[in-house]
Amino acid sequence: MSDSAPASVSPPRVPIEAGFFTVPEDRAEPPRLLGSRCNSCNEYFFPRRVVCARCLGESLSDCELGPRGILYTYTWVHVPLFGSLRSDAEGYGVGQIDLPEGPRVQAVLSGGPGDFRIGMEMELDLETLRVNKRGEEVAIFRFRPLAAAGERSGS
């Protein structure tokens, strides 16, 4: 018999817009971006496409991308993130991440202005943007420096 308190149950999470990334039920499991792979030339894309931008083929398959990549470049935005539960008084980072499959993805970054350097490994993570009327956490995807991945906020 255990006298530990029952584990708290987190509210369900939903993506801000369906079709761009997964929202795993297990918060310890990394999310994945949802992309496409051309069946003719094997090129990968994010977001998903119906026509290949490389060979114009129309036979593409949905696939999961990531969850890690390399920071190609970034900038710091000196205003709060729209609609966020957090107070981003100092702003937020936006970067381009090269995924191993090939696409370069632009995304919001997790961390402070001095936390990033070009060429560093990044990991996909989710952050709660707000709570909807049904009590679900509405999530956006972000990339965080891999060194900080163990410091998940659980949101």
The pLDDT tens digits of the residues spanning 95-126 come to 999 999 999 999 999 998 899 999 999 999 99
How many CB atoms within 10 Å of residue 28?
A: 7
How high does pLDDT run on average in the chain?
Answer: 87
| Nearest one of 152, 140, 99 to 121, comparing CA atoms | 99
Ramachandran region, residue 66 (left: φ > 0; alpha: ψ -120 to 50; beta: rest): left
pLDDT higher than threshold 50 for residue 154: no
- Estimate to the nearest angstrom the gap between the alpha carbon of 86 and the chain centroid: 17
pTM to 2 decimal places: 0.81
Please give the pLDDT value at position 47: 96
Amino acid in position 147: A
Give the pLDDT band (50/70/90) at residue 42. Answer: very high
Peptide bond into 67 cis (omega under 30): yes
List of residues 6+ apart from 107 with CB closer than 8 A: 94, 95, 97, 141, 142, 143
Q: What are phi and psi of 20, to 5 degrees?
A: -110, -30
* Mean pLDDT along residues 127-149: 88
Question: In percent, how much of the chain has pLDDT > 90?
Answer: 70
